Amino acid sequence: MSSLQSLDIAKRSATTTPSPQARHSNVEVAKLIDVSSCIGCKACQVACMQWNELRDEVGENHGTYDNPRDLTPQSWTVMRYSEVEVEQNKLEWLIRKDGCMHCEDPGCLKSCPAPGAIVKYTNGIVDFISEHCIGCGNCVTGCPFDVPRISQADSKAYKCSLCSDRVGVGLEPACVKACPTGAIRFGAKEDMLDYGAERVVDLKERGYGNAGVYDPQGVGGTHVVYVLQHADKPELYHGLPADPRISPWVSLWKGAAKPLAVAAMLGAVVAGFFHYMKVGPVETKEDADEKADA
Partner 1 sequence: MATKYLQRYSDGERMNHWVIALLFLATGLSGLAFFHPGLFFLSALFGGGVWARILHPFMGVAMVLGFLGMFLRLWRENLMNEADKEWRRHSMDMLRGDKSRMPPVGKYNAGQKGVFWLMSLCLLLLLVTGFMFWQPWFANSFPILVRRIAVVVHAASAVALILGVIMHVYAAIWVKGTVRAMTRGTVSEAWAKQNHALWHKEMSGK
Interaction between residue 57 and partner 1 (CB under 8 A): no
Binding mask 69-98 for partner 1 (x = CB under 8 A): ------------------------------
Q: How far apart are the first and last CA of the chain?
A: 80
CB 257 to partner 1: min, Å: 6
Minimal CA–CA distance to 230: which of 211, 215, 213? Answer: 211
Residue 200: exposed, middle, or buried by beta-carbon count in 10 A (0-12, 13-18, 19+)? buried
User: Which of 115, 180, 206, 242: binder of partner 1 (CB under 8 A)?
Assistant: 115
Distance (Å, whole) CA 217 – CA 96: 20
User: Which of 207, 264, 274, 277: binder of partner 1 (CB under 8 A)?
Assistant: 264
For 20, other C-beta atoms within 10 Å of its C-beta total 9
CB 256 to partner 1: min, Å: 11
CA distances from 141 to 95, 114, 186, 253 (A): 26, 14, 29, 11
- The vertex-182 CA angle with 91 and 5, nearest 5°, equals 125
Distance (Å, whole) CA 81 – CA 112: 31
Distance (Å, whole) CA 189 – CA 287: 83
Question: Which residues, 6+ apart, have CB-to-CB distance to 100 below 8 Å?
Answer: 76, 126, 145, 147, 148, 159, 160, 161, 162, 224
User: Which of 41, 141, 171, 241: binder of partner 1 (CB under 8 A)?
Assistant: 141
Interaction between residue 280 and partner 1 (CB under 8 A): yes
User: Which of 86, 150, 171, 193: binder of partner 1 (CB under 8 A)?
Assistant: 150
User: Number of residues in contact with partner 1, rule: CB under 8 A?
Assistant: 44
User: Which of 55, 62, 206, 258: binder of partner 1 (CB under 8 A)?
Assistant: 258
User: Which of 39, 46, 134, 201: binder of partner 1 (CB under 8 A)?
Assistant: 134
Q: Which amino acid is at 162?
A: L
Distance (Å, whole) CA 191 – CA 120: 21
Interaction between residue 257 and partner 1 (CB under 8 A): yes
CB 269 to partner 1: min, Å: 6
CB 226 to partner 1: min, Å: 22
Q: Which amino acid is at 88?
A: Q
Task: Rank residues 203 and 246 by Cβ distance to partner 1 and give the closer one.
Answer: 246
Distance (Å, whole) CA 169 – CA 62: 39
Residue 204: exposed, middle, or buried by beta-carbon count in 10 A (0-12, 13-18, 19+)? middle
Binding mask 216-255 for partner 1 (x = CB under 8 A): -------------------------------x-xx-xx--
User: Which of 41, 54, 86, 114: binder of partner 1 (CB under 8 A)?
Assistant: 114
CB 129 to partner 1: min, Å: 12
Interaction between residue 140 and partner 1 (CB under 8 A): yes
User: Which of 188, 197, 242, 261: binder of partner 1 (CB under 8 A)?
Assistant: 261
Interface residue list for partner 1 (CB under 8 A) = 14-16, 113-115, 132, 134-138, 140-141, 146, 150, 152, 155, 247, 249-250, 252-253, 257-258, 261-262, 264-265, 268-269, 272, 275-276, 279-286, 289-290
